[in-house]
Structure 1
Amino acid sequence: MRVHLLIAGFFSLLLAACASKPPAPQAPAHQPAERPPASSPKGNDVVLFALSLLDTGYRFGGKNPEAGLDCSGMVSYIYGRAAGLRVSGSAADIARRGRPVERAGLRPGDLVFFNTRNAAFSHVGVYIGDDRFIHAPSSNGRVRIDQLGARYFAQRFETARSYFD
């Protein structure tokens, strides 16, 4: 009889434990990560236009898709057509203008600059979001998308600029 009471008591404690509410979750000790800044409408237009140029042929000094594009010619063409902004000159010239942007604050449509020829700001691309950018590299000879975090570009990243509010 005592064994039955012990077993019944054990099961009633077990059921009571199962029926109790779990403890309330504790707030995290750290602050949540900041959200990336919202994209701008002109920046989105720039990205969409840039994507339409994927696989366009490369040509040194090229300023339009029919003849081929180099990196600064691509940026000038995209910004003029998609955003109505005159952005011209070499990649270094373009880097001297615009508002400086921290890498963590990049928004679609911002410009990213690299040292690819042992010369400051020798290459430029358009940031498209998600740590990716579109550019017209001389290697492989076509407009393409690459990762900012890819070893080659991560080692050569110099700065970023925004031309939008």
Structure 2
Amino acid sequence: MRIPLLLASLLLASAAHAAPPQDRSDDMERMLTDRGLMGHIQHVSQTVVDRTSDLVVTAVGFLGVPYRRGGNSAETGFDCSGFVRAMYNQTVGHLLPRRAEEQAAATEKIDRSELKPGDLVFFNTMRRAFSHVGIYVGEGKFIHSPRSGAQVRVEDMNGSYWQRRFDGARRVQEAQTETTAAISGK
């Protein structure tokens, strides 16, 4: 899977290196178009944006569903990791592990400054790492199922409670696999 991506990168680099500086971007775009890669790149990019949008829109549709420890459906209620797992399964078709710390271990670590809607945000709410998880929705906000007696809601990560407990951000790697497969034509 990585070899076709590597070959495409090398072709791009060699084409860009051979062209005079002012013509590099035009030549690169022309080469991508000639090889049918420009359409693939645009399609993959739009697919990732659409799926991320679908994920966030779907998650927002569950606002108000009550918290339930061990819950993983709207009918029974959600706990934090059950909510995240259900949203990814329903919208992306990717089944994440059940517990928050397992979800952290199964996803790619990213810097907080790299957060995009659909990424996972983790918090230390029970005096242990990765004890709480939510889905980043953008503009410093995340959606989650917080605790007993509460409901699925959107909160600001910059609020003092969440800021002090922020444990890290992660990205589900499914989109990267699809990008690689689409570029390589598989």
In the alignment, the residues of structure 2 paired with residue 155 and residue 106 of structure 1 have an alpha-carbon distance, to the nearest angstrom, of: 18
- Give the one of 154, 165, 171 matched to 1:145: 154
In the alignment, the residues of structure 2 paired with residue 136 and residue 122 of structure 1 have an alpha-carbon distance, to the nearest angstrom, of: 12
2:58 corresponds in structure 1 to 49
Question: Runs of 4+ in structure 1 displaced over 6 angstroms?
Answer: none
In the alignment, the residues of structure 1 paired with residue 135 and residue 68 of structure 2 have an alpha-carbon distance, to the nearest angstrom, of: 18
- Alignment partner of 1:141: what SS? coil
- TM-score, normalised relative to structure 1: 0.74
- Alignment partner of 2:133: what SS? strand
In the alignment, the residues of structure 2 paired with residue 77 and residue 146 of structure 1 have an alpha-carbon distance, to the nearest angstrom, of: 19
Structure 1 151/139 Cα, relative in aligned 2: closer, same or farther at 3 Å? farther
2:66·2:149 contact (CA, 8 Å) conserved in 1?
A: no
**C-alpha distance after superposition, 1:48-98 (max 9, x if no partner):** 110000010110000101000000000110000011101122100000011
**What letter corresponds to residue 103 of structure 2 in structure 1?**
I
2:180 corresponds in structure 1 to none
Question: Given the alignment of the two structures, is residue 74 of structure 1 paired with residue 92 of structure 2, yes or no?
Answer: no
Q: Which has the higher Rg, Structure 1 or Structure 2?
A: 1
2:116·2:137 contact (CA, 8 Å) conserved in 1?
A: yes
- Alignment partner of 1:40: what SS? helix
- Give the one of 125, 134, 137 matched to 2:143: 134
Structure 1 residue ranges without an equivalent (≥5) = 1-37
Q: CA deviation at 1:140?
A: 4.3
Aligned residue runs from structure 1 range 26-41, under 5 A:
40-41=49-50
The percent identity for this pair of structures is 39
CA RMSD of aligned residues (A): 1.5
Structure 2 residue ranges without an equivalent (≥5) = 1-45, 177-186
Question: Given the alignment of the two structures, is residue 97 of structure 1 paired with residue 84 of structure 2, yes or no?
Answer: no
